[in-house]
Structure 1
């Protein structure tokens, strides 16, 4: 007997996603032997395209309706995605070395604030122009919402390449630190713009700046407080199972508290993760506990990224892409790369103060600015409608290109610039003179 999606419980939906991720991971490990994220993305994309083709050519197949019904069972905005974002950002923050990041703090600060806002504006304006050319009936504010969700970068994939090619730790930390904080900043900007788009209210730059300062500042403060409380709890014992539970409580309790206080939960989790990942690992954990905590959060990060890539594939089946989706997707790839290049150039070369030295460093930061799970999660949280479908197609194209092309060629780019990269460091502008 065939079951329609409305008969599935939330647990059933979660089980389907986890089983699908495990099966695709198994096939990739034994057959394709690709890095997990790349293998999962390729197989998910191929599976999605194959199912979409079957859905179009075989009239008795109503897969799009079934998948759409299945996705309706998931309350993305209020439950799944909010939880996912908190876990992803905390897991990413655990791997950022603050000592190595100190020498690159100013470029990282500029990239994760000015760079994100600049990228959001450039992407929004350019996509608005594309929309006008294609004759799309989309309110301009939605193009800036897309700019905010696609501007944050994902450190998970690129850090693996940087480590594999023995790139200096300072550059690795700079990439990880920028990705971590631009995720938090990008989510705040996204939330502000999304509220304006949904309510239809005129966007006020001064009000938006005020909301940004309140949400971002409050999130940083909550993150420091929660991280310190977690650190003190970890330092008071030596019991790895309980200490893993404390890190879990920091994430879930801290994110819930930040949401209750209407401040940025993602930024709070980024800061809490930095505190635990640096001071907690160094001063509050035994070697055994540190190993367990690392492995636990690596597993969480891997699982959630796998599920997000599957979700974006399922969404592409459900919306049945059209010709304008393809055009918007291609435009999104080019525009996202252009915006990233401008943001990196402005914040690491033009702004006085400090800059990242090395002829190839800026190029690696540009090409290594991969999009991933955060962008997918934000796109999936958009309200239903034709505009959401267009922005999902644009997100799918940009993320797919990022993972399949940029990540796959980043190693060759690093080798090409290896002498400059190996000598890279952060130099005060006074010293440059």
Structure 2
């Protein structure tokens, strides 16, 4: 089949059908046979499928399968995340967060989401700069710091959907989820600062950017909730409550995009605000019927996650074929673990007393290994296309993919064993 015929065959709806087919079949196979965590299975099996297809492609001396895999990238992943579904994913992850628990753990969550993310970007960028220099690659220090800001934020989607399956202590689990929900805005602010250094643009100091990204987003999130929640509370129609929540989070995200605030933070603020106001009504003896609301957001979150992980899996093999990427990806994974351990260690020193009987070292080990990366890192890496050379862009994107794969699949699959070993050490 010609390339034009292939593109014609794979219009939008056929691509969606193929993606849904993969999601259903891979999920069913995992449910009955392998029984891995759901998101891990989708990414892992998608990578395996793409590798098998490329091997057949090479054996048949054809390019049709390579074209097919390229065409299966239904959306521009950066646009899909940053301009589309990320706000809904973040709202879904935060709309059931208990505000009282957040107040209880505000200090460690703040230290981890702000201090650890900042230090992680600096440590990781410095290590990657040293490694690139030893290999003779022309990476400037600002580019490496920008790379560090891309990989520093942990992924809220992975944290809430994977880590909760391992029966972590409630307080520790909440801190890890809270960190991953709030460090997105810090990571984006750092990315703006360091990318400004790369492109020689005046984006302001870190504190100025953080003030704009963080406080502006919080204000927009609260404003969107204040406008929409009264309708949410007064209506008795379950479907309308869903529509109101969709309106609130999408409106907050669009306003942040317009004013240059962090849409990610605004989405989280909307979710937490909705949760807090619902809990407040329940405490006053005026509970809302949220069964349809909860079911909708759980299903939507699962679907969007599934599409994201399948697309990332299908794209992964192509990325690793880029020159220098495989070696630098291995270094990136090692540097990421070192940078995460160092930054979390320093942040934990100022985090105060830790819950569930954890000492500082055990806490740092758990958060280092539980620092999963995801779609935001991929989206930020893709947004550097116009800032750096083609070779540098390929290395940044490929190394980011490698870190996301390693943290999601390797660390995700072994997280339970690591947690059990830490717990065993605490009980001695």
> Given the two structures, how large is their TM-score scaled by the length of structure 1?
0.85
Aligned position for 1:410: 415
Which residue of the partner structure matches residue 383 of structure 1? 385
Cα contact 1:93–1:270 (8 A) shared by 2 = yes
**In structure 2, how many angstroms separate the alpha carbons of the residues matched to 1:77 and 1:157?**
18
Output the CA distance in 2 between the equivalents of 1:187 and 1:11.
Answer: 33
What residue is the counterpart of 2:296 in the other structure?
Answer: 296
Among 213, 220, 240, the residue aligned to 1:215: 213
Q: Any stretches of 5+ residues in structure 2 without a counterpart?
A: none
Match of 1:327 in 2: 327
Question: Are 2:281 and 2:288, in contact at CA under 8 Å, matched by a contact in 1?
Answer: no
1:85-118 deviations in Å (ceiling 9; x for gaps): 2112111212322212222211110111111111
What are the within-5 Å matches in structure 2 for residues 191-202 of structure 1? 191-194=192-195, 196-197=197-198, 200-201=199-200
For 1:215 and 1:160, locate their aligned partners in 2 and report how far apart those are by CA, in whole Å. Answer: 26
Q: Which runs of 5+ in 1 are unaligned?
A: 423-433
**CA–CA separation in structure 2 for the residues paired with 1:79 and 1:34:** 26
The match for 1:88 is 89
What is the match of residue 425 of structure 1?
none
Report the counterpart of residue 117 of structure 1 in structure 2. Answer: 118
Contact 1:65/1:318, CA 8 A, preserved across alignment: no
2:319–2:398 Cα contact (<8 Å) kept: no
Deviation for aligned residue 1:184:
2.5
In structure 2, how many angstroms separate the alpha carbons of the residues matched to 1:20 and 1:299?
A: 17
SS of residue matched to 1:354: coil
Q: Give yes or no for contact 1:231–1:280 (8 Å, CA) kept in 2.
A: no
Give 1:154 shift: 2.4
Answer yes or no: is 1:369 the counterpart of 2:371.
yes
Q: Secondary structure at the match of 1:217?
A: helix
Indicate whether 1:170 and 2:175 are aligned. Answer: no
Greater Cα offset, 257-266 or 53-62: 53-62
Q: Larger deviation: 412-421 or 32-41? A: 412-421
Q: TM-score, structure 2 length as denominator?
A: 0.86
**Cα-to-partner distance string for 1:157-210 (whole Å, 9 max, x where unaligned):** 44566545543322221111111001222123224434554xx21677x53432
- Aligned counterparts of 2:186 and 2:238: Cα–Cα separation in 1: 33
Distance in 1, matches of 2:398 and 2:340, equals: 19
Q: In structure 1, how many angstroms separate the alpha carbons of the residues matched to 2:102 and 2:281?
A: 19
1:314 Cα shift? Answer: 3.1
Shift of 1:278: 2.7
8 Å Cα contact 1:161/1:410 also seen in 2? no
Question: What is the aligned partner in structure 2 of residue 354 from structure 1?
Answer: 352
Measured after TM superposition, the shift of residue 250 of structure 1 is 1.1
- Whether the 8 Å CA contact 1:379–1:391 is kept in 2: the answer is yes
* Alignment match, 1:306: 306
In the alignment, is the contact (CA less than 8 A) between 1:255 and 1:268 conserved in 2?
A: yes
- Counterpart-to-counterpart distance in 2, 1:288 and 1:33: 36
Q: Which residue of the other structure, out of 230, 233, 252, is the alignment partner of 2:231?
A: 233
